[in-house]
Amino acid sequence: MRVPFKPVYLKKAYKKFMYIIIHDYSCKFGTLNKVDTKGISVQDVRNYNWIWYNEFELPYHFICEKIGQDFETVMCRPLSYYCEYEDIPSVYLPSVHIAIAGNYNVIAPEQRAYQQIGYRSIASIMRWFSIPISNIKMHWEVSADKTIHCPGDLFDKDKFLANIRSLILVKR
């Protein structure tokens, strides 16, 4: 299955990105992929998003997921378009949205996942757009909907930020 190619329906990003917002699948696809397995879920999620939400593009710029033995980061929505969420205030519109595949209300992420998502996407985005570590937010932190637990309660923000700090302090 191929989702129709309709970039004209996406909101163009015209401001410099100021925040990075972290998700898992729980806020939009919690029923689909509870646990990240070794298979690829990006296309399943993309098709589900089209069929059930009638959306032409995924609501994340990147997804980090386990493929085979290791974690890979896949670009989904191009950075030239915003991701819009009804429950997130407009001040956060210039945000890069990054999801970790799976529902982390069910199972805790592996240390390797924190490391790979930090290394393969976040550290370089922070540097490129001059985004401070204090502007990395969890979806639940910025949502107006207090029932949102995204990423799930077992996603350890402190452990995640510790991995990122170790990457951004490296200077060569």
CB of 27 or CB of 123, closer to Zn ion: 27
Closest by CA to 59, choosing from 29, 36, 92, 89, is 29
**Residue 87 identity (one-letter amino acid):** D
Strands 19-23 and 136-138: parallel
Q: Tell me the site size for Zn ion, rule CB under 5 A.
A: 4
Judge whether 20 and 137 are in contact, CB under 8 Å.
yes
61 near Zn ion, rule: CB under 5 A? no
Taking the complex as a whole, how short is the minimal distance between the CB of residue 36 and Zn ion, in angstroms? 15
Closest by CA to 122, choosing from 82, 64, 59, 52, is 64
Q: What mask, x for binding Zn ion by CB under 5 A, covers residues 96 to 135?
A: ----------------------------------------
Taking the complex as a whole, how short is the minimal distance between the CB of residue 115 and Zn ion, in angstroms? 21
The span of 37-45, 128-136, 144-152, 157-165 binding Zn ion (CB under 5 A) equals: 144-152
CB of 53 or CB of 127, closer to Zn ion: 53
The span of 4-12, 39-47, 137-145, 157-165 binding Zn ion (CB under 5 A) equals: 137-145
Closest by CA to 111, choosing from 66, 60, 141, 63, is 66
**Structure tokens belonging to residue 111:** 């240390």
Give the residue, chosen from 17, 19, 20, 23, that forms a contact with Zn ion under the rule CB under 5 A.
23
27 near Zn ion, rule: CB under 5 A? yes
> ∠63-2-74 over CA atoms, to 5°?
15
Give the residue, chosen from 109, 150, 160, 163, that forms a contact with Zn ion under the rule CB under 5 A.
150
Judge whether 72 and 119 are in contact, CB under 8 Å.
no
Taking the complex as a whole, how short is the minimal distance between the CB of residue 49 and Zn ion, in angstroms? 13
45 near Zn ion, rule: CB under 5 A? no
Burial readout 42-75 (b: 16 or more C-beta within 10 A, e: otherwise): beebbebbbeeeebbbbbbbbbbbbbeeebebbe
Taking the complex as a whole, how short is the minimal distance between the CB of residue 85 and Zn ion, in angstroms? 8
CB of 46 or CB of 139, closer to Zn ion: 139
